[in-house]
Amino acid sequence: IEDCLAKKMEITVSEAEKRTGRNAMNIQETYTAYLIETRAVESQSEGQCAPVDSLWRRYSEFELLRNYLSVTYPHIVVPPLPEKRADFVWHKLSADNMDPDFVERRRIGLENFLLRVASHPVLCQDKIFYAFLTQEGGWKEMVNETGFQLKADSRLKALNATFRVKNPDKRFTELKHYSDELQSVISHLLRVRARVADRLYGVYKVHGNYGRVFSEWSAIEKEMGDGLQSAGHHMDVYAASIDDILEEEEHYADQLKEYLFYAEALRAVCRKHELMQYDLEMAAQDLTSKKQQCEELATGTVRTFSLKGMTSKLFGQETPEQREAKIKVLEEQIQEGEEQLKSKNLEGRDFVKSAWADIERFKEQKNHDLKEALISYAVMQISMCKKGIQVWTNAKECFSKM
Q: Which residues contact other proteins (rule: CB under 8 A)?
A: 91-92, 178, 181-182, 185-186, 188-189, 192-193, 195-196, 198-203, 205-213, 215-217, 219-220, 223-224, 227, 231, 236-237, 239-240, 243, 367, 370-371, 374-375, 377-378, 381, 385-386, 388-389, 392-393, 395-396, 399-400, 402
Which of these, 77, 10, 2, lies nearest to 268 by C-alpha position?
77
State the minimum distance, in angstroms, from the CB of residue 384 to other proteins.
8
Tell me the torsion sign for CA atoms 5, 9, 12, 13: negative
Nearer to other proteins, 38 or 183 (CB): 183
State the minimum distance, in angstroms, from the CB of residue 67 to other proteins.
29
How far does CA 63 lie from the centroid of its chain? 11
Exposure string for 324-351, b = 16+ CB within 10 A, e = fewer? eebbeebeebbeebeebeeebeeebeeb
Nearer to other proteins, 92 or 326 (CB): 92
State the minimum distance, in angstroms, from the CB of residue 224 to other proteins.
6
Number of H helices, E strands in the chain: 10, 3
Nearer to other proteins, 140 or 195 (CB): 195
State the minimum distance, in angstroms, from the CB of residue 253 to other proteins.
13
How far does CA 59 lie from the centroid of its chain? 14
Nearer to other proteins, 117 or 239 (CB): 239
Nearer to other proteins, 38 or 215 (CB): 215
* Residue 81 identity (one-letter amino acid): L
Alpha-carbon distance 59 to 82, whole Å? 10
Nearer to other proteins, 207 or 273 (CB): 207
State the minimum distance, in angstroms, from the CB of residue 238 to other proteins.
9
Q: Is 152 helix (H, G, I), strand (E, B) or coil?
A: coil
Which of these, 118, 139, 119, lies nearest to 57 by C-alpha position?
139
Q: Are 187 and 260 in contact (CB under 8 A)?
A: yes
State the minimum distance, in angstroms, from the CB of residue 340 to other proteins.
38
Nearer to other proteins, 125 or 209 (CB): 209
Residues in the chain, overall count: 402
State the minimum distance, in angstroms, from the CB of residue 170 to other proteins.
17
Nearer to other proteins, 161 or 220 (CB): 220
Beta-sheet pairing, 53-58 with 28-40: antiparallel
Q: What is the DSSP letter of 25?
A: T
Beta-sheet pairing, 9-22 with 53-58: unpaired
Dihedral pair phi/psi, residue 14, rounded to 5°:
-90, -25
State the minimum distance, in angstroms, from the CB of residue 351 to other proteins.
25
Nearer to other proteins, 348 or 388 (CB): 388
Q: Describe the strand order of the beta sheet including 9-22 as a list of residue ranges.
A: 9-22, 28-40, 53-58
Nearer to other proteins, 257 or 290 (CB): 257
Measured CA angle at 38 (ends 31, 46), to 5 deg: 155
Residue 12, strand partner residues: 37
Kindly give the residue spans of alpha helices, DSSP state H, lying in 300-319.
307-315
Alpha-carbon distance 147 to 76, whole Å? 19
